[in-house]
Amino acid sequence: MLRPMWPALTILALLVAGVCFVALRRYRAEAEAERAKQQQEFEALRQQHEQTQARELAQQQALFNSMSEGVLVLDADGRVRLVNQALERLFGTTGDLRGRTVMEALRLHQVQELVNRTLIKGQVDDFELELPGLDCGRSLQVNSAIVLGQDGRQQGLILVCHDLTRLKQLENTRREFVANVSHELRTPLSMIKGYVETLIDGAKDKPEVAFKFLQTIEKHADRLTYLIEDLLTISRLESGQVVMNLQRTDPRAVVERVISDLESKAAAKPTHLVNEVPTALAANADADRLQQVLFNLVDNAIKYGQADGNVVLGARKTDNKQIEVWVRNDGPGIPSEAQPRVFERFYRVDKARSRDAGGTGLGLAIVKHIVQSHGGEVWVESEPGKGAIFYFTLPEA
């Protein structure tokens, strides 16, 4: 009776096993799907976290790069962790500096010295750093401090660099300007005082001597007057207080007025003044200021030209709607190393000869400022022994 039940039990067992197998497969499939889902969610969270970190890093880097001060951040091991574009420009570095030591990145013992001092003191303010060889020398003021974590342990170090180059250049210019003005004022004042004392001591009783001394006093008083007038002029030009009355101006007519004003001085040398400016040209310029520019240039050309020489004035229309004007003499010329500086205040190529020739030393500086106020440019071309040509441009009318 029992034998017929075995096949049924076997079939039942197989059915149960099949059901269990199917259930197990389904469970495994669901578990795999759940793991895949969790993996996807984890991957999405990881990507979101990386994107957030990248976004924050980009924002941080953009903030650092927007700073005019150079910023260098070191980690606890003294290696570069972060550097902004301003610092790269200040030190003239290229490539990725991250992970390098200070010496490897900047190759300056002064910076390593500052880092060492900061590690000892915790903070260093107003450390002055000179960078020779970069843009003819650069001056920096560096502040540095240790960066501490929440646990109070050292996490790194930060350096902030301020570029003082322009300020130092302005300070040097100011000092040089004050020294030059003092010298230019002292010379005629000393001469006037000396001659007045001589007159008081008895020279006034000798008519011929007294007249000669009074002429000298008048000459130096005039020199003081011209110097003060030029100082006031260049001060107004530099501060923007002079408003240019721009209108259609005939350069040739202005040149004729300048030649008429300087005709007697040219004849005394003698020097021949030649007007080669075409009649058809018209510039958009302040006629009075243009006359001042040409007067200074022609006056210099007469002073430094050779005796019985020529001073030639010309002009032409350029391709970019400008009028180019020039003044040429046949004097000894200007050395190439001096040409970039001739438009500086009080700069003199030959100091002894310049003072003998007179003038305030501000004429070419005034020329530069007036031309630039018109939106033009001024420059000089010269070869020693072949004279000099001063050029400037004006907008075409």
pLDDT score at 136:
59
What is the average per-residue pLDDT within 323-335?
92
Domain borders along the chain are: 64-163, 165-242, 245-397
Mean pLDDT of all residues in the chain?
85
Res. 245: pLDDT tops 80: yes
pLDDT score at 1:
47
For the ranges 25-34, 103-112, 346-355, the lowest mean pLDDT is seen at 346-355
What is the average per-residue pLDDT within 168-186?
80
Top-ranked range on mean pLDDT: pick from 23-27, 30-34, 265-269, 293-297:
293-297
Q: How confident is the model at residue 5 (pLDDT cuts 50, 70, 90)?
A: low
pLDDT score at 219:
86
Give bridge partners of residue 389 from the DSSP assignment: 328, 381
Burial level of 178, CB count in 10 A (0-12/13-18/19+)?
Answer: exposed
Look at the domain 64-163 and name its fold: Beta-Lactamase (3.30.450)
Residue 218: Cβ within 10 Å count: 11
For the ranges 56-65, 170-179, 218-227, 281-290, the lowest mean pLDDT is seen at 56-65
What is the average per-residue pLDDT within 208-212?
87
pLDDT score at 60:
67
CA distance 80 to 74: 5
Res. 240: pLDDT tops 90: no
CA distance 19 to 29: 15
pLDDT in tens, 264-319: 999 988 999 999 999 989 999 999 999 999 999 999 999 888 888 999 999 999 98
For the ranges 108-112, 137-141, 151-155, 176-180, the lowest mean pLDDT is seen at 176-180
Percentage above 70 pLDDT, the chain: 93
Look at the domain 165-242 and name its fold: Helix Hairpins (1.10.287)
**Radius of gyration of the CA atoms of the chain, in A:** 40
**Better-predicted residue by pLDDT, 141 or 33:** 141
pLDDT score at 135:
54
What is the average per-residue pLDDT within 361-374?
91
**Can you list the alpha helix ranges (DSSP code H) found in the chain?**
5-66, 85-91, 102-106, 109-121, 165-200, 207-238, 251-268, 287-304, 351-357, 363-373
Look at the domain 245-397 and name its fold: Heat Shock Protein 90 (3.30.565)
Is 255:313 a contact under the CB 8 Å cutoff? yes
- The residue type of 356 is D
CA distance 247 to 270: 35
pLDDT score at 317:
93
Q: How confident is the model at residue 260 (pLDDT cuts 50, 70, 90)?
A: very high
